[in-house]
Amino acid sequence: MVLALVSIFGVSIQQVPAVEALMATELIRTSPFDQVVCTLCEGDYHQGVAVLINTLVNGGFTGLFWVGHRGPLPPWVAQLGKREDGLYQVGNASLGFQTIEDSRHFTHVKPRLMTDLIHQGIAGNLLWYFDPDITVRCNWSFFERWIRFGVCLNQEISMGVMASDHPIRCEWMELARRAGWGEPLRQQERYYNAGFIGLALKDRAFLDTWLAANELASAAGVDLTLFQTGSRVNTFHFADQDAMNIAAMYAPTPLTTIGPEGMGWITGGFTMYHSVGSAKPWRKNFLVAALRGIPPSNADKHFLDSAWGPIQPFPLKRLKRQRSMARWASFIGRFYRRG
């Protein structure tokens, strides 16, 4: 594997895999896009991608949406018109695809994909990553305002408070010192979710640090072909997310953060819904779940509301049936739910 030396804070801290040239659409356009949103998907996650795009376009996004994928293109691509520049038109936004050839689990490819978009000259100014199980709730102009203040991050709900002297964090710092990183540039008390990040290209050092932190995990014995390792007792559990949180300590870039309400996990949020866990909205049998005491979440409802838009990932008959079941499931949930 080709290696590149990454230098952060003026000192070389780690050898990390160079971003490989990955097969992409035949993109003819040469000038970079001012705003790029990217995601990764495989299997049935293309259904989440379609609805994520709908929410972005409905909110006023007019830049490039870039999808790194394994396997064939989503079937809903047939609904879209392909332009002469090799991209697809979705409302006032552009859509492109990139075939990812990487043995790592997709969760570990996020900083590589973002860095690749910069290296290829596709992303020219502002760059965001969203997991494909996220939907956007607010007007896109808020994200444009937010990113002016630094690297945009969102606090986790599970173990979202992680003290600066937490033993797991102390172990990360031990590994960083051994690798010659020195001391963190900032002390962190919060733990962030790696399903979303936004940054201007002037803050790309955050991606370099995240890639280097991934290699810290790999050098510590973490198998990056897996989604997670052991339990939270491990130094690295969700290794990609742990690596991003290491970057939040060491990267020489400003941060601008929102709490767990930002992903709809507690009340008070307005930016996103993030459907974590295996029970994705496009997979759920809402009535069966309701009879088990689990009514539809706000994220489920927003997903269904947004599933008919510039892209239609489901036949209308199926979508109407899902919406009807969700309404009945919500009614059941008024009288019966767990806890």
For 125-136, the pLDDT digits (tens) are 999 999 999 999
β-pairing verdict for 255-258 and 151-155: parallel
Report DSSP state, residue 327.
H
Count of beta carbons in the 10 Å neighbourhood of residue 74 = 21
Residues 157-189: tens digit of each pLDDT:
988 899 999 999 999 999 999 999 999 999 999
pLDDT of residue 278: 81
> So what's the pLDDT on residue 194?
96
Task: Say what the pLDDT of residue 251 is.
Answer: 98
**Does the structure show a pLDDT above 80 at 142?**
yes
- Alpha-carbon distance 129 to 86, whole Å? 22
CB 273 within 8 A of CB 263: yes
* CATH fold group of domain 22-261: Spore Coat Polysaccharide Biosynthesis Protein SpsA; Chain A (3.90.550)
pTM of the predicted model as reported, rounded to 2 decimal places: 0.90
Could you tell me the sign of the dihedral formed by the alpha carbons of 126, 238, 272, 285, in that order?
A: positive
What is the per-residue pLDDT for 2?
A: 28
pLDDT for res 6: 36
pLDDT in tens, 179-215: 999 999 999 999 999 999 999 999 999 999 999 999 9
What span, in angstroms and rounded, lies between the C-alpha atoms of 100 and 109?
9
What gap in Å lies between CA 119 and CA 162, rounded to an integer? 34
How many Cα atoms within 13 Å fall on the side-chain side of residue 194? 24
CB within 8 Å of 277: residues ≥ 6 apart: none
Token pair belonging to 15:
């050898």
Q: Would you tell me how many other CB atoms lie within 10 Å of the CB of residue 314?
A: 18
Boundaries of every domain in the chain: 22-261, 277-333
- 110-119 vs 205-219: helix axis angle to the nearest 10? 140
Phi, psi of 309 (to 5 degrees): -160, -145
